Amino acid sequence: MQWETVIGLEVHVQLATRSKIFSGASTAFGAEPNTQACAVDLGLPGVLPVLNEQAVAMAVQFGLAVHADIAEVSVFDRKNYFYPDLPKGYQTSQMYHPIVGPGEVEITLEDGSTKRIRIHHAHLEEDAGKSLHEDFHGMTGIDLNRAGTPLLEIVSEPDMRSAKEAAAYLKAIHSIVTYLGISDGNMAEGSMRCDVNVSVRPKGQEAFGTRAEIKNVNSFRFVERAIAFEVERQIELIEDGGSVVQETRLFDPDRDETRSMRTKEEANDYRYFPCPDLLPVVLDQAYLDHLRGQLPELPADKRERFQNELGLSAYDANVISASRDMAEFFEAVHSECGDAKQAANWVQGELSGALNRESLSIANSPISARQLGELISRVLDDTINGKAAKEVFQALWNGQGESADEVIEAKGLKQVTDTGAIEAMIDQVIADSPAQVAQYRDSEPEKRGKMIGYFVGQVMKASRGTANPQQVNGLLKEKLDALL
C-alpha cells in the first residue's frame, strides 16, 4: 500500500525581550539559578502580572510577516496543571482569542519549488522553569529563571507531507523570526523548540490518520530524523494489523527513535478560563500600521528579488536569503563589485567554507564585505587570476593587509598579461624540459592535450602563479606545436 505522511508543527519561539512577559525580571541566558525569578515569576501571593509591550509588538510583527489577521482583541487564559517548574499552578496563555490569526508561510524545497504552508494561529504565552533531574539526594532541583520568559507559539495547519517539507518550514520560520529580530533563534539554547504532529494515511484517503505528537525536537536535523522514524513506526504498526494510539512521544537523538511518554494520568484536562488578572489586549489600526512600516525586507521578498533582479539561481537565492546576516553581507559585496553571480559564489564558497572551518558566524567574519567586494573586482578587471585571488583572500582573512590592492601589491600577485614576459617564461621551461618535450613530440596528437598540463604547471610556477592561465595555455600550444 502507498502511504502519505501528514505533518503539522507547533513551534515555540522565545521572544528576545529584555524582561519577562509579565514581570520586570531579566531574561538573560545563563544566569545563576533563580537569580532572575522575581515574586511574579514565583507566583507569590498578591502579585499581579503586567504585560510587556515589546512582547506584544514582536508577536504582531510576526503576524504581519506571515500575512496573518491580527486580532483587534486578544485575551489571556489560564492553562491549569501541576508541575514543580510551574509555581503558579497554571500557565498564562491564549487559548480562545490568540493575538495572531490565520496566515501563511512560503517554503522552498531542495529542487527550488515552493509551497505554501498555512498557519492556524500564533499566541503569546509564558515559559515554565527548568527541572533538573540529576540526583539531589533523591530530589529534583528547580530553576525558575526561565519562568515567565515570553514565548510565541506558532501552530501550523497539517499541510506538510514529508520530513523535508517540515524541516523547510522550520527553517522558514527561523528565517522570519531572525530577520525580524524578535528571537535569536538559537535552537541549542532552546530559543526555538518544536513539537511535531505526525500521522499517516493511505494515499488518496481524505480523512487524517491518528496522530502522535513528538515533543521537544530541537534541531532541523532532528525534525527530519524524528519524522522518518515515526512514519516508519506507524506504517509498520498499521500493516501488522495494529493501530496508532494518539499519544505524546519523546525523540531520543542518541538512539534515533521516538518513545512513548507513558503516563498513568488520565487525559490532560487543563480547564482553561480567562485570566482575571489580565484585561483584554486591544490593538488599533494605527498601531498595526506603525509596526507594518517598520518591517524589514523579509526572506521571501529578498529571495525573489535576488532571483528576478540580480539573476541568481533559485538555489543560490534561497541559501543566501535564509539568513539576514548573510543576505546583507552578500548585498554589500555585490554593491562593491557589481557582479551578483561572483558575489554569491564567493560568499557561499570561499567565505562560508572559511567561516565553517573556524565556527564563526558571518557577522563575525574577519573579512569585511567591502574587502571581499574589492577582491572580486580585481578578478573581474583581470588584475589577478583566480589562484592569486584565493591567496589574497587568505591574507585578508589572516589580517595581513587592509585591502585587496594592498595585498596584491605587497605580495606581487598582479597578473602578468604581457605576452613577451609570458613567452620568455615559456621558452625557459621548454629549454629546461627536453625529456618532456620529446615525449610530447612522440605521442599521439589526441594525447598531447593532456600532456600540456605539465608545461602549464611549470610556467605558472615560474611566474609564482601570476601569469594569466588562458594566455599561458594558448602560447604554450603554439610554441610546442612549432617544435613538431
Partner 1 sequence: MALEESHVRRAAHLARLAVSDDQASGFVDDLSRILDMVDQLQSLDTEGVTPLAHPLDATQRLRADEVTETNQRDTFQRCAPAVENGLYLVPRVVE
**Choice from 142, 182, 344, 379 touching partner 1 (CB under 8 A):** 142
| 57/212 with CB nearer partner 1 | 57
**Choice from 70, 144, 223, 340 touching partner 1 (CB under 8 A):** 144
**Choice from 67, 221, 271, 290 touching partner 1 (CB under 8 A):** 271
Measure the CA–CA gap between 419 and 431, rounded to whole angstroms. 18
Measure the CA–CA gap between 318 and 304, rounded to whole angstroms. 9
Q: What track of x and - describes contact with partner 1 for positions 7 through 26 (by CB under 8 A)?
A: ----------xxx---xxxx
**Choice from 7, 56, 192, 344 touching partner 1 (CB under 8 A):** 56
Residue 107 pairs in a beta bridge with 115
Measure the CA–CA gap between 261 and 211, rounded to whole angstroms. 15
**Choice from 54, 248, 403, 417 touching partner 1 (CB under 8 A):** 54
Contact status: 290 vs partner 1 (CB under 8 A): no
Q: What are φ and ψ of residue 27, in 5° steps? A: -105, 10
Measure the CA–CA gap between 304 and 310, rounded to whole angstroms. 9
Is residue 107 within 8 Å of residue 300, measured between CB atoms? Answer: no
**Choice from 6, 278, 332, 456 touching partner 1 (CB under 8 A):** 278
- Reading the block at residue 84, the C-alpha cell is 514543580
**Choice from 110, 131, 470, 474 touching partner 1 (CB under 8 A):** 131
Spell out the residues 6+ positions from residue 229 whose beta carbon is closer than 8 angstroms to its own. 251, 256, 257, 258
Q: How far is the CB of 273 from partner 1 (least distance, A)?
A: 10
| 263/428 with CB nearer partner 1 | 263
Measure the CA–CA gap between 241 and 220, rounded to whole angstroms. 32
Measure the CA–CA gap between 173 and 152, rounded to whole angstroms. 12
- Reading the block at residue 218, the C-alpha cell is 530541537
- Classified as helix, coil or strand, 385 is coil
Within 86-115, the residues that bind partner 1 by CB under 8 A are 97
Contact status: 132 vs partner 1 (CB under 8 A): yes
Of the candidate spans 61-69, 279-287, 367-375, 381-389, the one that interacts with partner 1 by CB under 8 A turns out to be 279-287
- DSSP annotation of 280 reads P
Contact status: 449 vs partner 1 (CB under 8 A): no
Nearest to 151 by CA among 12, 38, 54: 12
Helix intervals (H) in 240-313:
285-293, 299-308
Of the candidate spans 4-12, 131-139, 310-318, 450-458, the one that interacts with partner 1 by CB under 8 A turns out to be 131-139
Contact status: 254 vs partner 1 (CB under 8 A): no
Measured CA angle at 312 (ends 306, 316), to 5 deg: 95
Measure the CA–CA gap between 86 and 17, rounded to whole angstroms. 21
DSSP 390-407: HHHHHHHHTT--SSHHHH
- Classified as helix, coil or strand, 457 is helix
Within 377-436, the residues that bind partner 1 by CB under 8 A are none
Contact status: 314 vs partner 1 (CB under 8 A): no
| 36/468 with CB nearer partner 1 | 36
**Choice from 47, 51, 155, 437 touching partner 1 (CB under 8 A):** 51
Q: How far is the CB of 195 from partner 1 (least distance, A)?
A: 16
Residue 11 pairs in a beta bridge with 154, 194
Measure the CA–CA gap between 231 and 4, rounded to whole angstroms. 9
Is residue 281 within 8 Å of residue 246, measured between CB atoms? Answer: no
- The full length of the chain comes to 484
Of the candidate spans 31-39, 106-114, 348-356, 397-405, the one that interacts with partner 1 by CB under 8 A turns out to be 31-39
Contact status: 80 vs partner 1 (CB under 8 A): yes
Contact status: 245 vs partner 1 (CB under 8 A): no
Count of residues that interact with partner 1, criterion CB under 8 A: 54
**Choice from 5, 52, 234, 463 touching partner 1 (CB under 8 A):** 52
Contact status: 53 vs partner 1 (CB under 8 A): yes
**Choice from 140, 186, 398, 470 touching partner 1 (CB under 8 A):** 140
Measure the CA–CA gap between 480 and 484, rounded to whole angstroms. 7
Measure the CA–CA gap between 344 and 465, rounded to whole angstroms. 25
Contact status: 253 vs partner 1 (CB under 8 A): no
Spell out the residues 6+ positions from residue 146 whose beta carbon is closer than 8 angstroms to its own. 127, 128, 129, 130
Of the candidate spans 51-59, 60-68, 332-340, 427-435, the one that interacts with partner 1 by CB under 8 A turns out to be 51-59
Contact status: 141 vs partner 1 (CB under 8 A): yes
Contact status: 281 vs partner 1 (CB under 8 A): yes
Q: How far is the CB of 82 from partner 1 (least distance, A)?
A: 6
Of the candidate spans 79-87, 206-214, 296-304, 364-372, the one that interacts with partner 1 by CB under 8 A turns out to be 79-87
Name the site residues for partner 1 (rule: CB under 8 A): 17-19, 23-26, 32-39, 42, 44, 50-56, 73, 75, 80, 82-84, 97, 131-133, 136-144, 261, 266, 269, 271, 274, 276, 278-282
